[in-house]
Structure 1
Amino acid sequence: MNYKVIEVDVTTIKVNAGQPRLAYDEDGIDALASDIRHRGLLHPVILANDGEELTLVCGQRRLIATKKLGWTTIRAMVLLNATELLETALAENFLRKDLEAFDQAEAFYDLLNEKQLCLKDIARLVGKSVSSVCEIAKLMRIPKELRHDETLRRKPLRFQIKLSRYGTEEDIHAAYRRYEETGQLPVMKAQSTVSTLRELSKKIADIRTQLGKIDFLDLDFDNAVHINLKEEVTELLAAIHGRGWFRIDLIRFRQY
């Protein structure tokens, strides 16, 4: 077993500087603290032991809430191997159960962007289908302030996923405000993602055909047009890679 569950002095826990959640809604923390006071801490926080100190991996909201309650210790699950913390933690069944949907989304986002994994890699790592990982990762479309909203965090996953599909952050904010006012999400505008992707695919094919007609040996490689083209292509590849649709070896495609 590569972890142990113990009571830890809250003053000895170091908050990971890489934690994606840095600010919290005070009302949300108060609501969580009230819930913990009445029902107890249902899930321990997750800590990593690097031999010298205990670093928080998961459960920052719970740690803040218990401090507000005046608790001096907190139940914690301590990882005994701090190497590749996020991958190790997600690979363990106990942490997959401990994470709320928005926490999972932030973890997946970190794996996609910081660890450069693709959706298929993450799905295999956490024991979920690619479609499930993709749906949860899309929760990052929801604005940060809403992801910290305690009421929204307690909503069913299917509600959170539906909210994430409303488009821009402004659209999502508007949809959630409508829900708060009426108890129902507004009718979603018709989406044609497949049609958009088909049209995009045709445009890319056309561009590839046009590029094939250009004799690049005749180009001045210091020409502003050529430099701009390189930058645009590089940014396109980076954007596709960042979306996690499929893996692209950006090193092979670096500008020269």
Structure 2
Amino acid sequence: MAERTEQPKKTNSKQVLGWLGTLADIGLPWIAFTVAYAVTDHDLKLSLIIALSTAGLVGLVRLIRKQPIANVIGGVFGVGLSAFVASRTGQAEDVFLPGILMNCGWFVLYALTIVTRYPLIGLLYGAVTQTWLAWRRDPELYRALNRVTLLLTAQIGVRLAIMVPLYLADNVSALGVAKVALGLPFYGLTVWVGYIVLRSSLSPDKWEEVKENFTHMLKGTQPTPPPVQDKVQDEVRDEQKTEAPAAKTD
């Protein structure tokens, strides 16, 4: 009994550490830029150098520890692109412009999939589970996946509603704080709420089936494809069983 209660704690600790590590990979360069920009009396060039150096330092630490650097590479690319744009325009607020434009693109994509009744999370779910569009023929599952897509669309909408006015007001310090706060922490909160929405939208039997598939989606792994042939054979057997008594009565 003792081993069963300790194992979940270890797993949760690893998950928390993983989230904190990802937050450091992505968030530290932006925190460094925001602090440096304020301390150096709005020296854009020096602030960009400090942000890029911080991103490189985080990557170096990951390499020394032989830890995954996928998030670091993404962070370095994002900071590098932002630094390039800002260095070209000479406007500090343009450091955040690529991220804002990317969020606009995602918002339009999510909205289009909702309007066309092919919610993006449903398409991802079908691709990961290799059931493709089968979820559209299940009203309960379609409703649940559509609600999660709506939630993620709202998340991006909130981010844009805060970031765009700050960008237009040239409020670089507030943009830096919003960039970090509305990044991984806000996304993590959205995923948690999405988990609740998904579970409350499905029956217990359906939830057990979908939960494992969503776990694979979040981990980026591939679940075992459903045994289509066995399922078809079972349906044929059930039909034969129901037709057999009717034949005897006739």
Q: TM-score range by the shorter chain?
A: under 0.3
Name the structure with the higher strand share.
1
Larger-gyration structure (1/2): 2
TM-score normalized by the length of structure 2: 0.25
Q: Which has the higher contact order (CA 8 A, sep 6+)?
A: 2
